[in-house]
Amino acid sequence: MNFSTIQTAESLARESMRTFSQGMAYAEESLRNLSENLDTDIATTPFEVVYTEDRIRLKHYCPKKTRGKGLKTPLLIVYALINRETMLDLQPDKSVIRNFLEEGVDVYVLEWGYPMRKDRWLTLEDHIEGYMDHVVDHILKTKRLAKLNLMGICMGGTMGVVYASLHPEKVKNLITTVTPTWFDTEEGLLHLWMKETHVERVVEACGNMPGDVMNLGFLMLNPAKLVVEKYHGLMANLNDKDFLENFIRMEKWIFDSPDVPGETFLEFITAFYRENRLLNGSFTLGGKAVDVTRITMPVLNIYAKYDHLVPPSACDRFTKAVGSADVQDLCLDTGHIGIYVSSKCQRDFVPHIAGWLKERDGAEVRKTKGDKEKATAAA
Active-site amino acid positions? 154
Report CA-CA distances (Å) from 175 to 95, 350, 371.
Answer: 18, 12, 22
Closest CA to 95 of 114, 109, 82: 109
The Cα 30–Cα 241 span in angstroms is 10
Check if the beta carbon of residue 74 is closer than 8 Å to that of residue 108. Answer: yes
Q: Enumerate helices (H) and strands (E) in the chain, giving the number of each.
A: 16, 12
| Cβ count near 23 (within 10 Å) | 12
Closest CA to 320 of 310, 309, 333, 329: 329
The Cα 378–Cα 358 span in angstroms is 32
Q: Is 136 helix (H, G, I), strand (E, B) or coil?
A: helix
Q: Is 90 helix (H, G, I), strand (E, B) or coil?
A: strand
First to last CA, the chain: 87
Is beta strand 89-91 parallel, antiparallel or unpaired with respect to 94-95? antiparallel
Check if the beta carbon of residue 104 is closer than 8 Å to that of residue 71. Answer: yes
Is beta strand 171-177 parallel, antiparallel or unpaired with respect to 48-53? unpaired
Task: Quote the DSSP letter at residue 168.
Answer: G
Is beta strand 56-61 parallel, antiparallel or unpaired with respect to 94-95? unpaired
Positive/negative CA dihedral, 259, 262, 268, 274: positive
